[in-house]
Amino acid sequence: MVGEAQVRAKELFGDKPNLKFEAKDLESIDGKYNTVICVDVLIHYPREDAAKMIAHLASLSEDRLILSFAPKTFFLTILKKIGEFFPGPSKTTRAYQHKEVEIRQMFIDNGFAIARTEMTSTSFYYSRLIEAVRLR
């Protein structure tokens, strides 16, 4: 993905912008950033670990935090259960859904206010995207 990002950035912007792409473990990444974006990673983390991950990512962000997660709703829980019936190696049992109200609280607990929410969905995939801004 880093390679693909480099190719696409060059196509879009040429050599001008000072963009750096690296593969890193999010749990040990450090530094300070204007915006931290983390797309669909929380699906790998149960609630307590998701809370630690959000706290860590929030600590890296000076202004904005954009995260997405698989929402735990009645409909999507049923859909996941149906998926688990299908034979073959399945990732569904390792996919953690999260209640939006809990994720929102994690943002608030780390000094951020919710600015925008969106739903990403295709015929087989759903995730909730939240943009939050640091409270001053």
Ligand X SMILES: C[S@@+](CC[C@H](N)C(=O)[O-])C[C@H]1O[C@@H](n2cnc3c(N)ncnc32)[C@H](O)[C@@H]1O
d(CA 127, CA 122): 9
> In the window 30-49, what residues touch ligand X (CB under 6 A)?
39-41, 43-44
> Residue 39 or residue 108: which is nearer to ligand X going by CB?
39
> Which DSSP letter does residue 91 get?
S
CB of 23 to ligand X, least distance (A): 8
> Residue 26 or residue 119: which is nearer to ligand X going by CB?
26
CB neighbourhood size of 2 (10 A): 11
CB of 25 to ligand X, least distance (A): 5
Torsion of CA 46, 132, 130, 48, to 10 degrees: 10
Contact positions toward ligand X, by CB under 6 A? 25-27, 39-41, 43-44
